Structure 1
Amino acid sequence: MLFQDETPTTVATRAPFRVLIADDDHELCELLADYLRLEGFDVDTVADGVSAMARLAHAGACPDLLILDITMPGPDGLQTLRELRLHYQLPVIMLSARGEAMDRVTGLEFGADDYLAKPCLPRELLARVRAQLRRQLAPAVSENPVIGVLQIHAAARRARVGEDELQLTAAEFGLLLALARQAGRVVDKAELTRKVLGRDIERFDRSLDVHVSRLRRKLADASPLAPAIEAVRGAGYLMHVPAGVAA
């Protein structure tokens, strides 16, 4: 069961954002959809990955955020996630009964921005949904870091290495921007987790590490001159420019 003993008590007045829930548990979908609707979201549901991909392809109904279950008929959540990441960068929160550490890591490695195990407090899910959407709609900031061959356009949420545009998830872009804005100094994991995932770091939480690993691969694949991200043991992460490349 998704919900523990908690009932929504407030109705959000914010502008409606579109949320799509992909899960074959119809009762769970309706419970979750009703909760989010009470909080001011425009929510739709589908029961499988094929339907989710079709909804994403519909220009007039493309959601702002996807909540995706793993176990579904046909292509499962991980297969669906891998396919959609070839075309879309919208935030994806995986919500699944598979809550073991390796399941979380796998979901994040496939391109999820966040991962929440069932059962969970609906208030926690709501907080994570809002955190993802806040980052998508953050006000434009004039600072557009240029680190060697890396150029970041903060307002457009786009990044290029040389002439090639990086295909980044919402979390990966947030991580890249946070590290680039503080290039040359160590940024601790707690600070990055708050900025990138919108929550406090948890014990044994590897979510940020997985996002860093994916981002490293994308930068390295784009160019050997791309900035590198170094793990500083017991401290955090540091972005630096390869030797011989001007910042």
Structure 2
Amino acid sequence: MESETGGEHPPRLVVIDDEPQIRRLLQLALEGHGYPVVEAVNGRDGVLAVAQNRPDAVVLDLLLPDMSGVEVIRRIREWSEVPILVLSALGQEKEKVSALDAGADDYLTKPFGIEELLARIRVMLRRALRPAESPLFRSGALEVDLSARRLWIKGEELHLTGTEYALLRLFVRHAGKVLTHRQILQEVWGPKSVEQTHYLRVYIGRLRDKIEVEPARPLLLLTEPGVGYRLALLD
């Protein structure tokens, strides 16, 4: 079967989950859409499966019998930048944020829909295929030239303050990925400001006023409640 990405060699995924029902659901859904799946039932086997198979993406449950999902992410990130989607249960906000801070790219909260799962995986794969050094970025009505420090909405050039631009540049470099409050504050304001979330709310509002067609109904700069923000990859 041809993969949804249209390539001759469909992206291979590693699924790390100790629940047989979830693994079966994920296998049927992913392989039914052209993604070959390698399964692992615990963290140790999962890290080994990633090392041996060099997958295009990983789906990882945060609750594993032998180690935490966060530890699995840390071990994988010692040598690989493979996109990682974490699965969390309701009420696991702290674990979810810890996973993203450790290097996960996205998350889904159980129960989740198959279409949403597939959409998140497509975005992760698109991010991984983007030219790493390209200074040009486009998403929906937004165009950014990082080399020239210029941006446009619907062809009209906009001007940002230094902090607003630093914030947007961070989102562009990680477009499609969830960035936690801590990650953003540390990158833009420094490690001493990681608890100053009010800074972030103010500047996110200012940035939305400039880059969103309807700031009250953002399509580009999306809030991930209790976690952080992401810059959407739109056609």
**TM-score normalised per structure 2:** 0.61
Q: What's the counterpart of residue 44 of structure 1?
A: 38
Q: Equivalent residue of 2:38, what SS?
A: strand
Is 1:127 aligned with 2:119?
A: yes
Q: What's the counterpart of residue 135 of structure 2?
A: 143
What's the RMSD between the two structures over aligned residues? 3.8
Q: How many angstroms apart in 2 are the aligned matches of 1:126 and 1:46?
A: 20
Q: What's the counterpart of residue 164 of structure 2?
A: 186
Q: What's the counterpart of residue 27 of structure 2?
A: 33
Q: Equivalent residue of 1:235, what SS?
A: helix
Q: What's the counterpart of residue 5 of structure 1?
A: none
Q: Which amino acid aligns with 1:51?
A: D
- Structure 2 stretches lacking a partner, 5+ long: 138-143, 151-161, 192-198, 209-235
Is 1:118 aligned with 2:101?
A: no
Return the offset for 1:88: 1.4
Q: How many angstroms apart in 2 are the aligned matches of 1:20 and 1:11?
A: 16
Q: How many angstroms apart in 1 are the aligned matches of 2:3 and 2:123?
A: 18
Q: What's the counterpart of residue 12 of structure 1?
A: 4
Q: What's the counterpart of residue 235 of structure 1?
A: 206
Q: What's the counterpart of residue 198 of structure 1?
A: 176
Return the offset for 1:130: 0.6
Asked if the contact 1:21–1:43 (Cα under 8 Å) also holds between the matched residues in 2, the reply is yes
Q: How many angstroms apart in 2 are the aligned matches of 1:179 and 1:99?
A: 40
**TM-score normalised per structure 1:** 0.59
Q: What is the count of residue pairs matched by the alignment?
A: 178
Please point out which of 89, 95, 109 is paired with 1:97.
Answer: 89
Quick one: percent identity of the two aligned structures? Answer: 30
Between 1 and 2, higher relative CO (CA 8 Å, sep ≥ 6) is seen in 1
Q: What's the counterpart of residue 74 of structure 1?
A: 66
Q: What's the counterpart of residue 212 of structure 1?
A: 184
Decide whether aligned partners of structure 1 residues 87 and 142 sit closer, same or farther in structure 2, where only a CA change above 3 A counts: closer
Whose helix proportion is higher, 1 or 2? 2
Decide whether aligned partners of structure 1 residues 139 and 207 sit closer, same or farther in structure 2, where only a CA change above 3 A counts: closer
Q: What's the counterpart of residue 172 of structure 1?
A: none
Q: Which amino acid aligns with 1:209?
A: H
* Between 98-107 and 42-51, the greater mean CA deviation after superposition: 98-107
Q: Equivalent residue of 2:103, what SS?
A: coil
Decide whether aligned partners of structure 1 residues 87 and 120 sit closer, same or farther in structure 2, where only a CA change above 3 A counts: same
- Structure 1 stretches lacking a partner, 5+ long: 1-9, 145-153, 155-177, 200-205, 221-229, 238-247
Is 1:24 aligned with 2:18?
A: yes
Is 1:56 aligned with 2:50?
A: yes
Q: What's the counterpart of residue 98 of structure 2?
A: 106
